[in-house]
Amino acid sequence: MATIRDVAAKAGVSTATVSRIINNKGQATPETVARVNAIIKELGYKPNVVARSLTSRKSNTIALLVPTISNPFFPELARGAEDLANAYGLNIFLCNTDDERGKVTNYLQSLKERYVDGIIINSLNLNNEDIEDLHSNGIPSITLDRAFATHEFSSITVKHREGARLATKHLIDVGCKRIGIIRGPEDDFTAVQRMWGYRDCVKDFDWFNQSWIALGDFSVKSGYLCMKELFQRHPDIDGVFASNDLMAIGLLKAAHEWGRKVPDELAIVGFDGIDMTQYTYPPISTIRQPIYEMGKMAMEELIRLINEPNSDPSKVELDVDLILRESSMR
């Protein structure tokens, strides 16, 4: 494989000159630039990307931190970001953090060392200092979805509380009299907002108390287990808002095992709008987040921040909508 020395020797210039030409740093005549580029092509020389980023402090790479790619929500988000990045000739590092603090800090440190051009962060376990540190190292970032959005940098989130209100109100409108919620993790900002949206709609009913709230963790299994818990506590439950789609899928199995017909005896609404909810039996009504677009928008904003480092951040809160399907159509 050809090296930078081979190119320099054949072109009759120093390796520093070849490096400057590769990194568009000027200080070479147009004839030298043309000669060096022709030789690079002829020898099939591929610059070492890591070495190159050490000198240029740019790597043409964007990192995306997500909690887990096991939930189809996050691959769809990543796809939106990646498609736009590719259109701009940028590469993506995809980092699964499992929302663990240790993994988040390790990734942020190693991404800084690799001179990524920017980072999209979707993680609960992030704090203000992390974002400020990136900023002071010249790495723009944007938080997306799960991460808190009360910082002064760019962020994209959706109207979680309003979405949960839409879901719960719909269950009331189709005639449900006892509605429970399977909420997401206690420390998750999105889960907390959705729980408040549910409470807004049921808090004044005399049957309502804390026992109608089951604590899930956004996994299919927790949807299944929490639904069993709700059936045991409240055999008269006839409607449930699952605060994400995976939990709604899990609870369908519990309803089946409990002998409850969906939607006639138990109406269900999920949250997210992942594709899979169209293919369950019955298909699941859900609050749709514009998942792919959110990934794309985050990348768009990051590219803007990279190109205009001194510009103002942008804070976006997107609308969600209710998709009606058989699981709640009585």
Binding residues vs ligand RIB (CB under 6 A): 71, 73, 145-146, 190, 218, 244, 246, 271-272
- The C-alpha atoms of residue 49 and residue 72 are separated, in whole angstroms, by 31
Residue 5, classed as helix, strand or coil, is helix
- The C-alpha atoms of residue 62 and residue 81 are separated, in whole angstroms, by 9
Judged by beta carbon, residue 116 or residue 164, the one nearer ligand RIB is 164
- Return the exposure string of 18-39: e unless at least 16 CB atoms fall within 10 Å of the residue's CB, then b: bbbbbeeeeebeeebeebbeeb
The number of helix segments (H) and strand segments (E) in the chain equals: 12, 12
Judged by beta carbon, residue 59 or residue 286, the one nearer ligand RIB is 286
CB of 55 to ligand RIB, least distance (A): 39
Judged by beta carbon, residue 73 or residue 224, the one nearer ligand RIB is 73
CB of 75 to ligand RIB, least distance (A): 11
CB of 129 to ligand RIB, least distance (A): 22
CB of 30 to ligand RIB, least distance (A): 52
- Is the separation of the CB atoms in 159 and 191 below 8 Å? no
Judged by beta carbon, residue 190 or residue 327, the one nearer ligand RIB is 190
**Residue 181 CA from chain centroid, whole number:** 23
- The C-alpha atoms of residue 146 and residue 126 are separated, in whole angstroms, by 10
- Is the separation of the CB atoms in 244 and 209 below 8 Å? no
CB of 311 to ligand RIB, least distance (A): 27
Judged by beta carbon, residue 260 or residue 288, the one nearer ligand RIB is 288
